[in-house]
């Protein structure tokens, strides 16, 4: 007879997606093991802000549900009140500037811009508090055998549970072990992520300048400071990284046409090559994909981690409901339901992001004209603008429990 598993679910990956899934599952009374290199040590945080994530209201409700949306995390973060799209392509088909204001939807801001290292550290502390068993190891192999998900670790141990969650990043070992193929593509772009101080207040406005190399997006931080994600040609990265801090500040000011006044105190940029990825299945063989094992998108419209947190919340609902009703949480039927639901949210969003990104880089004029026509409609037809805002914030169908508030 097989020894009963010590865990209801094994989560691989201690990034924000895996930690959120682990916290939600532990709050739902599941016995959770979370495996990741360094998982037993609290993640480091620094004073300099480079990477931030803009999380929309449904994600903010998840952060509240797992108890991390406290003053400690709020103080280095800032609310997002307006999203402004500015055509800076220089195309003959110039699109009008479009402003999306949260006031068209209600009182709450669209969401918050949060330093990624602080968010990860807060979720790690919440996982410890919720009783998640953190295991400092790397998953070396995954297989499904009968009614068990078997997760082999580089320590030589093997963990088993009726279901496992892969949140181990875009090169996921678990996804490969479950035999899930991917569609992957590269963009001729690298993202530079940094933060900077400016003399003109941002007034809660995030500005997305659409440039021929891709978006250049400023996002508010507390005080007169903003984070920036700037998509550039990979061949231009070395020259930008070689600029002195003062020259980089002047370059940013120029790129923004002085919109935020004088730029100073620029943090060292992080450089991330841009790629896209979609898993052909989001769940099978007792494995659910959460976050980047399932989908990778360029940082446009703040969709990446927002989608991943929805994966985490739907996976937690699926597993906790099954356990409560004494059903098998890794059954083919439940996993097929998860796959269908998450694809319906993720795949159309990836298509929109991809089209917008390629339309900026393309020299095909009809595409420029189509983008300009779309932006004109958004600026001048309020019901359409409202619909675009609601779809940007929410998945189709009902929200998972942790995001309902």
Site residues, ligand FAD (CB under 6 A): 12-18, 35-37, 53-54, 116, 138-139, 167-169, 173, 191, 193, 229, 272, 291-292, 299, 302-306, 308
Adjacent-strand bridge partners of 264? 197
Question: Minimum CB separation from ligand FAD for residue 60, in Å?
Answer: 11
- Residue among 93 and 170 whose Cβ is closer to ligand FAD: 170
DSSP per-residue codes, 69-121: -SHHHHTT-EEE-EEEEEE-S--SSPPPPEEEEGGGT-SS-SEEEEEHHHHHH
Question: Minimum CB separation from ligand FAD for residue 324, in Å?
Answer: 26
- Residue among 272 and 388 whose Cβ is closer to ligand FAD: 272
Question: Minimum CB separation from ligand FAD for residue 283, in Å?
Answer: 16
Instruction: Name the phi and psi angles at 110, rounded to 5.
Output: -60, -35
Question: Minimum CB separation from ligand FAD for residue 54, in Å?
Answer: 4
- Residue among 388 and 393 whose Cβ is closer to ligand FAD: 393
- Bridge-based pairing of strands 82-87 and 98-101 is antiparallel
Helix (H) or strand (E) run with residue 356 in it = helix 332-361
Residue with tokens 């984070």: 227
Nearest Cα residue to 305 out of 83, 18, 45, 10? 18
Nearest Cα residue to 138 out of 124, 121, 151? 151
| Measured distance CA(112)–CA(80) in Å, rounded | 5
- Residue among 53 and 375 whose Cβ is closer to ligand FAD: 53
- Residue among 162 and 269 whose Cβ is closer to ligand FAD: 269
Instruction: Name the phi and psi angles at 158, rounded to 5.
Output: -125, 130
Nearest Cα residue to 228 out of 45, 46, 85, 52? 52
Residue with tokens 């309902």: 404
Identify the three-state secondary structure at position 211.
strand
Question: Minimum CB separation from ligand FAD for residue 315, in Å?
Answer: 13
Residue nearest to ligand FAD (CB): 15
Q: 212: Cβ–Cβ under 8 A, 6 or more apart, which residues?
A: 89, 90, 360, 361
- Residue among 299 and 329 whose Cβ is closer to ligand FAD: 299
- Residue among 19 and 98 whose Cβ is closer to ligand FAD: 19
Question: Minimum CB separation from ligand FAD for residue 384, in Å?
Answer: 24
Question: Minimum CB separation from ligand FAD for residue 22, in Å?
Answer: 11
Question: Minimum CB separation from ligand FAD for residue 268, in Å?
Answer: 14
- Residue among 221 and 322 whose Cβ is closer to ligand FAD: 221
Question: Minimum CB separation from ligand FAD for residue 294, in Å?
Answer: 9
Q: 247: Cβ–Cβ under 8 A, 6 or more apart, which residues?
A: none
Alpha-carbon distance values, 163 to 35, 148, 174, 224, 340 (Å): 14, 7, 12, 46, 18
- Residue among 27 and 349 whose Cβ is closer to ligand FAD: 349
Residue with tokens 């037993």: 40
């Amino acid at each position: 007879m097989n020894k009963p598993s010590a865990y209801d679910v094994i989560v691989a990956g201690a990034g924000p997606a895996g930690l959120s899934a682990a916290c939600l599952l532990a709050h739902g009374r599941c016995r959770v093991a979370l495996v990741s290199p360094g998982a037993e040590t609290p993640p480091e945080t620094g004073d300099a802000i480079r990477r931030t994530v803009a999380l929309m209201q449904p994600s903010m409700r998840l952060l509240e549900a797992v108890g991390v949306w406290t003053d400690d995390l709020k103080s280095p973060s800032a609310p997002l009140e307006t999203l402004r799209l500015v055509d800076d392509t220089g195309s003959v088909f110039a699109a009008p500037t479009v402003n999306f204001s949260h006031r068209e939807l209600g009182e709450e801001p669209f969401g918050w811009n949060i330093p990624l290292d602080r968010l990860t550290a807060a979720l790690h502390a919440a996982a410890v508090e919720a009783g998640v068993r953190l295991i400092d190891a790397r998953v070396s192999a995954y297989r499904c055998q009968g009614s068990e998900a078997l997760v082999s670790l580089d320590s030589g141990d093997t963990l088993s549970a009726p279901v496992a969650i892969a949140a181990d990043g875009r090169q996921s070992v678990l996804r490969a072990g479950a035999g899930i193929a991917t569609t992957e593509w590269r963009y001729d772009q690298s993202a530079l992520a940094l933060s900077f101080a400016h003399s003109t207040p941002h007034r809660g406005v995030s500005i997305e300048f659409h440039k021929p190399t891709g978006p250049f997006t400023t996002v508010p931080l507390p005080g007169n400071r903003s984070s920036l994600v700037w998509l550039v040609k990979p061949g231009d990265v070395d020259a930008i990284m070689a600029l002195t801090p003062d020259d980089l500040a002047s370059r940013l000011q120029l790129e923004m046409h002085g919109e935020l006044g004088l730029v100073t105190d620029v943090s060292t940029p992080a450089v991330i090559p841009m790629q896209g990825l979609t898993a052909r299945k989001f769940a099978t063989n007792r494995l659910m994909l959460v976050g980047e094992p399932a989908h990778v998108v360029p940082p446009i419209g703040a969709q990446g981690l927002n989608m991943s947190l929805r994966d985490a919340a739907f996976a937690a609902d699926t597993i906790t409901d099954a356990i409560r009703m004494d059903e098998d949480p890794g059954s083919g039927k439940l996993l097929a339901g998860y796959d269908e639901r998450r694809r319906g949210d993720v795949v159309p969003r990836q298509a929109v992001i991809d089209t917008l990104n390629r339309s900026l880089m393309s020299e095909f004029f009809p595409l420029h004209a189509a983008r300009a026509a779309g932006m004109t409609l958004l600026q001048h037809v309020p019901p359409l603008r409202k619909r675009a805002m609601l779809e940007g914030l929410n998945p189709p169908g009902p929200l998972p429990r942790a995001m309902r508030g």
